[in-house]
A and B are shown apart, each in its own frame.
Chain A
Amino acid sequence: MRQQYAVRSMIIIAGFVLVGLGVIVQMIRIQNSEEAMIFLSQGDRYAGEFQMFYPERGQIFDRNGHLLAGNRTVYEVGVSLIDMENPDGMAYILGSYLGLTYDEVYKKLTESPESWEYIVVQDYVGVETVEALKQLVEQLKDADDPRLSGLAFKPHLQRSYPENDLASNVLGFVTRDGRGYFGIEEKYNDLLAGNPVQIWVPRDPNKASEIPRVPNGTTLVLTINRDLQSKVESILDQALIDYGAQNGTILIMDPRDGEILAMAATPRMDLNSYDNYFSLYDNGSQYNRAIGMAYEPGSVLKVLTMAAALDAGTVRPETTFIDTGSIEVGGITIQNWNRDSWGQQNMVGCLQHSLNVCLAWISSQMGVQSFYGYMERFGLGHATGIDLAGEAIGRLKVPGDGDWYPVDLGTNAFGQGVSVTPLQMLMSVSAIANDGKMVTPHVLYSMLRDGHQYNVPSQYAGSPISAETAHTLNEMLAISLEQESSMALLPGYRLAGKTGTAQIPTDYGYDASHTNVSFVGWGPVDDPQFMVYIWLQTPTTSIWSSETAAPVFSQVAEQTVILLNIPPDVVRGQLTSQ
């Protein structure tokens, strides 16, 4: 009996052992079968997924920490087709909320490929619309109404500009594909955008810590002063109305370090509606006329001619010139702006009355080599190197060029036959306001990345003239403004500057009825802290800069001294002596 039990026990044990062995053999077989690799790869596929992490685009601030470009939450509204129960109701509701037609939404919901599990109905939907839709989803859920079942909202960030069109020509804009166009957004696109990272995101929670952090794009702090920019834009807009000008530009720069404090241009675009670009601009050069459009500046260039002549020793402030009203250069007669003769003048008088004949005589006295050598050193015909996208390079014809004629030596001296951008002129003239040293203009003040701060150092673009020449001309221009009782003057502050009225070149010669008016000025004369450049295109109330651009300069200077806390000269002297 006992042996019988033992046999049975052995049989049962053997059975279990066999089953166990069978299981083990089967396990080994499956693990090494041809299908094993397929199963493994299927397993891997569901073990996680590759996800692209886009860093938050860096913000842009003005020099006082006001946000100029940030990011705003918007939503992708989509539908999980597996969970959708009522496409008809869904199409009707989404159509009315998202501003789409019923057919449009219904087609998307019902005609998508069978393999699709999710479709995007609309992207970049605002928070208000999504909040309203979310409320409706809740209400329908409570009422067991399946019309919006499967509706999903995926939040993400979109570029946003709180100041709308303020400094739009400086900032540029970002399209929905995340690419920056114009200005800072284009120039520093790579820094602002950061580096998108594609990462394998495991579903296994044990591996969660393997997801690395994706750093945000670099935040930029600009040299622009938001309040000054706003004031200058208002002054420019009003000037266009007051003087009937087509377009205009006003630039303010610190001559000591090249920091651009304000850069206004027209037309400006609301950066949150960049779709309007094509209705506002015919081409890219119009986006920021301060750097993108070269023009013949006229008499403001006389400042450079005089600087060159003083530095070369061709003339001195007290050098006299008998103005007969005309001079012949290269076989062509050059006349003054009013075709009059002004008699005996010293060099201050030549600048004060803006005498073309006098300046043509000066450049002739200097000679081709010396004159063009100085103009080259002032950077004419070269880019300024400003850190903004879309800078144009003006043109300085020089002897040897096919289209250079001997008369150009005379006309170039008073800003005809040479093209510059407003910024180029400002940069060149900065040498006179900054002890002979020319500064490279820039709009980036600082970069912030991962808690590090990188300040942008100021750069000098050479010293075309000596400090002594700069001081002399500085004084001459201040006297000429004062003696002229210019509309550019600002009570309490001693300023230096020069007007410029330029006829516009056409295919048939110069059009005397239309002009570009400009003004370049700076102050205070004994310690220049700001430089202003003004360009108004074809004013209609007056063709003269002294009656249009000069008063605009005075307004800009007034706001600049207030916002930059520059006391009147007398007060400044008292404060310094304390």
Chain B
Amino acid sequence: MQGQATQIIHAYKQAPWRVQRQWIGAFLLVVIGGAMIAAIYLDVTARTAVAGREIQELRVEITTIQRENADLETRLADLTSTAVMQQRALTLGYRPVEPGELDYVAVPGFFKPEPEILLAAEDASPHVKIQPVEYTQSLLEWFDQRLKLGGTR
């Protein structure tokens, strides 16, 4: 009984189709591996392309918004120009103040604030890098950094 089993295993091992299957298996493995790499590559490339296109579109959008901003700022200035405001004030029944009608009050600690345009500039911190490194670092740079950090986070 045991001898028969040994014979079958022998015969199986020596069957010519088995060798062919091994070759086919190895070939298919290579093909599948290659296909997987190609698929991953295509996927990454496609994602990068989509991201790139989005960046391009966002840049156009930023330019458009900046232009619209500038335009709106100018339109707002049109609506609040001296001539328009004076006319509006007169229509609402106001009149220019006479020197004798003014009362002056000393407010301790009060100082005239700077115009908004200058306050905004002071608040801006040009030296602070606002873009995280993830957006500028290459994979190799990241890997190098990780190695230098010795695996610590």
Residues of A within 8 A of B (CB): 56, 59, 61, 63-67, 70-73, 127, 155-157, 160, 162-164, 166, 204-209, 211, 219, 221, 226-227, 230, 446, 448, 450-453, 490-492, 558, 561-562, 565, 567-568, 571-572, 575, 578
**Which B residues are CB-close (under 8 A) to A67?**
73-74, 76-77
Which residues from A are CB-within-8-Å of B121? 448, 451-453
B115 touches A61 (CB 8 A): yes
Say which residue of B50, B77, B82, B106 sits within 8 Å of A575 (CB atoms). Answer: B106
Docked-complex contact A205 and B115, CB < 8 angstroms: no
Closest residue of B by beta carbon distance from A72: B74
Q: Which residues does chain B contribute within 8 Å of A63, judged by CB atoms?
A: 115
B136 shortest CB reach to chain A, Å: 10
Check if B124 sits within 8 Å of A71, measured CB to CB. no
| B: number of interface residues (CB 8 Å) | 41
- Residue of B99, B116, B124, B126 touching A65 (CB-CB under 8 A): B116
Chain B residue nearest to A159 (CB atoms) is: B74
In Å, the complex CA distance between A204 and B56 comes to: 10
For the complex, what is the distance from the CA of A211 to the CA of B63, rounded to whole Å? Answer: 13
The listed residue (B83, B99, B115) touching A64 by CB distance below 8 A is B115
| Chain B residues, CB < 8 A from A164 | 81, 83
Closest 5 CB pairs of A and B: A65-B115, A205-B52, A451-B124, A70-B74, A162-B77
Which of B2-10, B12-20, B25-33, B64-72 contacts the other chain?
Answer: B64-72
Q: Are B74 and A162 in contact (CB under 8 A)?
A: yes
How distant is the Cα of A205 from the Cα of B67 in the complex, in angstroms? 24
Cα of A221 to Cα of B83 in the assembled complex, Å: 21
CB contact between A451 and one of B83, B86, B125 (< 8 Å): that residue: B125
Q: Does B147 contact A (CB under 8 A)?
A: no
Chain A residues with CB below 8 A from B53, complex form: 205, 208
B139 within 8 A of A: no
Partner of B70, one of A157, A204, A211, A567: A157
Which B residues lie at the A interface, using CB under 8 A? Answer: 45, 48-53, 55-56, 59, 64, 66-68, 70-71, 73-78, 80-83, 86, 97, 99, 102, 104, 106, 115-118, 121-122, 124-126
Counting chain B CB atoms within 10 Å of each CB, which of A65, A163, A208, A450 scores highest?
A208
Q: Contact between A73 and B67 (Cβ–Cβ < 8 Å)?
A: yes
12 A-B residue pairs with Cβ-Cβ distance under 8 Å, sorted by A, are A65-B118, A67-B76, A70-B77, A72-B71, A155-B67, A166-B81, A206-B49, A208-B53, A446-B118, A452-B121, A491-B99, A558-B99
Pair B104/A211 contact, Cβ less than 8 Å: no
Q: Which residues from B are CB-within-8-Å of A211? A: 59
Q: Report the nearest A residue to B64, measured CB to CB.
A: A155
A451–B126 CB distance below 8 A: yes
Q: What are the residues of chain B within 8 A of A561 when measuring CB–CB?
A: 99
CB distance A567 to B104 under 8 Å?
yes
Tell me the bound Cα distance from A208 to B56 in angstroms.
Answer: 6
Which of chain B's residues have a CB closer than 8 A to the CB of A160?
74
Please determine whether B66 and A56 come into contact, CB atoms closer than 8 angstroms: yes
Question: Quick one: given A450-B126, A453-B121, A453-B122, are A206 and B73 in contact (CB under 8 Å)?
Answer: no
Interface centre among A452, A453, A492, A575 (most CB of B within 10 A): A453
A sample of 18 more A-B contacts (CB under 8 A), given A73-B71, A207-B52, is A56-B66, A59-B73, A65-B118, A70-B73, A72-B75, A155-B64, A157-B67, A162-B77, A163-B82, A164-B81, A204-B52, A205-B48, A206-B48, A206-B49, A211-B59, A451-B126, A492-B99, A575-B104
Query: Whose C-beta in chain B lies nearest to the C-beta of A233?
Result: B82
Contact status B49-A162, CB under 8 Å: no
Q: Which residues of A contact B73 (CB under 8 A)?
A: 59, 67, 70
Given contacts A163-B82, A453-B122, contact A206 B70 (CB under 8 A): no
- Give the docked Cα–Cα distance between A205 and B74 (Å): 34
**Closest-CB distance, A261 to chain B (whole angstroms):** 14
Q: Is the CB of A71 within 8 A of B118?
A: no
B51 contacts which chain A residues (CB < 8 A)? Answer: 205
CA gap between A335 and B118 in the complex, in Å: 55
Give Cα A64 to B112, complex, Å: 10
Bound-state Cα–Cα, A448 to B123, Å: 12
What residues of chain A lie closer than 8 Å to B59, measured between beta carbons? Answer: 208, 211
* Interfacial chain B residues near A64, Cβ < 8 Å: 115
- A450 to B125 alpha-carbon distance, docked (Å): 10
Alpha-carbon separation in the docked complex, A72 to B78 (Å): 11
B99/A205 in contact, CB under 8 A: no
Question: B78–A162 contact, CB under 8 A?
Answer: yes
Question: Which residue on chain B has the smallest CB distance to residue A229?
Answer: B82
- Measured between C-beta atoms, what is the minimum distance from B55 to chain A in Å? 4
**Partner among B82, B97, B124 whose Cβ is within 8 Å of the Cβ of A166:** B82
Verify B124–A73 contact, CB threshold 8 A. Answer: no
Verify B56–A452 contact, CB threshold 8 A. no
Structural contact, A163 and B99, CB atoms closer than 8 A = no
The smallest C-beta distance from B66 to any residue of chain A, in angstroms, reads 7
Which residue of chain A lies nearest to B86 when distances are taken between CB atoms in the complex? Answer: A230
B residues less than 8 Å from A446 (CB atoms): 118
Q: Are A208 and B118 in contact (CB under 8 A)?
A: no
Complex-state Cα separation, A261 to B106, whole angstroms: 24
CB-CB under 8 A from B115, the residues of chain A are 61, 63-65, 221
Q: Which of A65, A205, A571 contacts B117 (CB 8 A)?
A: A65
Determine if B82 and A226 form an interchain contact, defined as CB atoms under 8 angstroms apart. yes
A567→B104 CA distance, assembly (Å) = 7
Contact flag A73-B68 (CB < 8 Å), given A162-B74, A221-B117, A453-B118: yes
A255 and B76 alpha carbons, distance in the complex (Å):
34
Counting chain B CB atoms within 10 Å of each CB, the highest count among A164, A205, A450 belongs to A205
In the complex, the chain B residue whose C-beta lies closest to that of A490 is B99
Choose among A71, A163, A205, A491 the residue that contacts B49 (Cβ–Cβ < 8 A). Answer: A205
Complex CA distance for A255 and B5, rounded to whole angstroms: 116
Q: Are B74 and A230 in contact (CB under 8 A)?
A: no
How far does the Cβ of A233 sit from chain B's closest Cβ, in whole Å? 9
Complex contact A562–B52 (CB within 8 A): no
Which of B45, B48, B67 has most chain A Cβ within 10 Å?
B67
Docked pose: A207 CA to B55 CA in angstroms: 10
The smallest C-beta distance from A570 to any residue of chain B, in angstroms, reads: 10
- Give chain A nearest CB distance to B41 CB in angstroms: 13
> Nearest chain-B residue to A445 (Cβ)?
B118
Establish whether residues B126 and A70, one from each chain, have CB atoms under 8 Å apart when the complex forms.
no
Q: How far is the CB of A163 from chain B (nearest CB, A)?
A: 5
| Contact partners of A156 in chain B: CB under 8 A | 67
Q: In whole Å, how far is B127's beta carbon from the nearest beta carbon of chain A?
A: 10
CB neighbours of A568 from chain B (8 A) = 99
Nearest-neighbor residue (CB-CB) of B124 within chain A:
A451
Q: Which of A221, A562, A571 contacts B118 (CB 8 A)?
A: A221
